[in-house]
Amino acid sequence: MDDGGATLNLGDHTLDLSAVPARMGNHGVDIGSLRAQTRTVTYDPGFANTASAQSTITYIDGTAGKLTHRGYAIEDLANSCGFLEVAFLLLFGHLPNKAELEEWQASMNRHSLLNEELKRFFDAFPKQAHPMAILSSATNAISTFYEEYHNPKDEASVIESAQRLIAKMPTVAAWAYKKSTGFPYIYPRNDLRYVANFLHMMFALPTEEYHVDPVIAKALNVLLILHADHGQNCSTATVRFVGSSQANLFASVAAGMNALWGPLHGGANQAVVEMLAEIANDPSASTESYIARAKDKNDPFRLMGFGHRVYNNYDPRARILKKFADDVLDRVEGDDPLLRIAEELEEAALSDEYFQERNLYPNVDFYSGIIFRALGFPMRMFTVLFAIGRLPGWIANWKEMTEDPATRIARPRQIYVGEESRRFIPLHQR
Ligand code: CMC
């Protein structure tokens, strides 16, 4: 069809599928009436060909390796903005003016404390608890203090909940870390900006002065911006999916955190550094042997931090981070042998046919962990840092979903391939 739609011939049926035009990138065809008219459904494991929403938040050109938020290039945002500015942009669709930004920052200070009762919540976890488990549990737990703000249709409640979530997440993350060390929890301070406040809660001790290193704060600001949103990735799609049942924002975001934790998604940043450390610590290992393992279809090993569903080019976030890694290491701690191993691995992979044929390039997680490490964060906190960064993106998508009149409860079909009909055998005869 000329308008970008399609005509589908299926058995006796001829179906006109109308176009869903995109401003940029893949256009869609609306298959909403397919099942009703033909008793057929589409089959698309991993939703690789399925657009579940129309969105105005983030655009990724996977072939050119470009990423924009609300039309602004990620490079410009990472170079010139504070993380809260980008969070505002994602949520409200425009860059804040000075007054808006000041009020937005003030709201973060206003909401950064956790209810004192939540302190006991942290105490209940074992010392070795993974901080991602604490983060998602705490997000649900926080929701219990604000039940009167749960109505997804009440805009003021949604904004207030968004502010609470973004403001409290650094406190939760830092306390999850303190819990693992046994040191006292450090309270947020209203004289510090968002990123500095987080670093203070993470690394200060009540016994001595702690000065936030501006180099570290600046680097973390850039890292958070680079993680702020990325279209319909696994965790964001999960947030929308859960939210489509009209579950509240906290519950939806907690679900997204659990999706992020997996090593194929945000958990990859921890997995990359574990992989690099394994290579560094194994005298018999070489980058070649790891590349060979990644190519071996009988070996479940994958080169962590490589490949992406949407990019068949270099991930622009990884491009920024690769340059940034050297810079940050120079300024904070000198050389890191893991960075050299990562560079060797990248070079070997990019000149290897297997990776070339499949368009496998470094993704955001390949260099981020090395930088988080240089900034002083322990490995198990890496995915938590990703979560703090991605939080505005999750919320912006949830908000867009709840405001979209086309939203229906997410409920995919299945193609049933199990037993047809079996004669029931009582327990005593089995
Ligand atoms: N190492 C070795 N082979 C790979 C890799 C890898 N990292 N990634 C993909 N492949 C191969 C895969 O085996 C397949 O080969 P073949 O066509 O012969 O079967 C082909 O490339 C296509 O891969 P796929 O698994 O069908 O791709 P996908 O879009 O379903 O998965 C991915 C994307 C990111 C899960 C995958 O590339 C991967 O597992 N990467 C490693 C984990 C990782 O770095 N995740 C972070 C993703 S980016 C940030 C984020 O979203 O959190």
- pLDDT for 145-204, tens place per residue? 999 999 999 999 999 999 999 999 999 999 999 999 999 999 999 999 999 999 999 999
Task: Find the mean pLDDT for residues 108-129.
Answer: 94
Q: Would the pTM of this model clear 0.85, i.e. be above it?
A: yes
Question: If you take atom 37 of ligand 1, which residue's CA is the nearest one?
Answer: 307
User: In this structure, what DSSP letter does residue 362 have?
Assistant: B
The SS3 of residue 340 is helix
The length of the chain, given as a count of residues: 430
- Which candidate in 229, 230, 308, 315 is catalytic? 308
Looking at residue 275, the DSSP 8-state letter turns out to be H
State the number of CA atoms in the 13 A half-sphere of 388 facing the CB: 24
Q: Is the CB of 218 under 6 A from ligand 1?
A: no
235: amino acid identity, one letter? S
Name the residue type at position 160.
E
List, for residues 309-338, the tens digit of each pLDDT value: 999 999 999 999 998 888 888 887 677 899
pLDDT, residue 329, reads 86
- Which residue's CA is minimally distant from atom 14 of ligand 1? 358
* CB of 152 closer than 6 angstroms to any ligand 1 atom: no
Backbone angles phi, psi at 144, to 5 degrees: -70, -15
Residue 342 confidence (pLDDT) above 80:
yes
pLDDT for res 331 = 80
Q: Residue 87: which of 74, 76, 79, 96 has the closest Cα?
A: 96
Residue whose Cα lies nearest atom 21 of ligand 1: it is: 358
Q: How many percent of the chain have pLDDT more than 90?
A: 92
Question: What is the bridge-based pairing of β-strands 13-17 and 28-29?
Answer: unpaired
Report CA(294)–ligand 1 centroid distance (Å). Answer: 10
State which ligand 1 atom lies nearest to the alpha carbon of 366: 44
At 109, the pLDDT band (50, 70, 90 cuts) reads very high
Question: Could you tell me the two tokens for 307?
Answer: 């490949």
- Tens digit of each residue's pLDDT (9 = 90 or more) over 60-94: 999 999 999 999 999 999 999 999 999 999 999 99
Ligand 1 pocket, residue 305 CB under 6 Å:
yes
Which atom of ligand 1 is least distant from the CA of 48? 29
Active site residue 282: no
What is the rounded CA–CA span in Å between residue 430 and residue 425?
A: 6
**Separation of 360 CA from ligand 1 center, angstroms?**
8
Contact 312, 363 (CB under 8 A): no
CA of 9 to the centre of ligand 1 (A): 34
Query: Does 268 contact ligand 1 (Cβ within 6 A)?
Result: yes
- Evaluate whether 19 touches 31 at the Cβ level (below 8 Å): no
The values of phi and psi at residue 101, to 5°, are -65, -40
Dihedral over alpha carbons 368, 122, 398, 65 (to 10 degrees)? 0
The question of whether 365 is a catalytic residue gets the answer yes
Ligand 1: distance of its center to the CA of 91 in Å?
Answer: 30
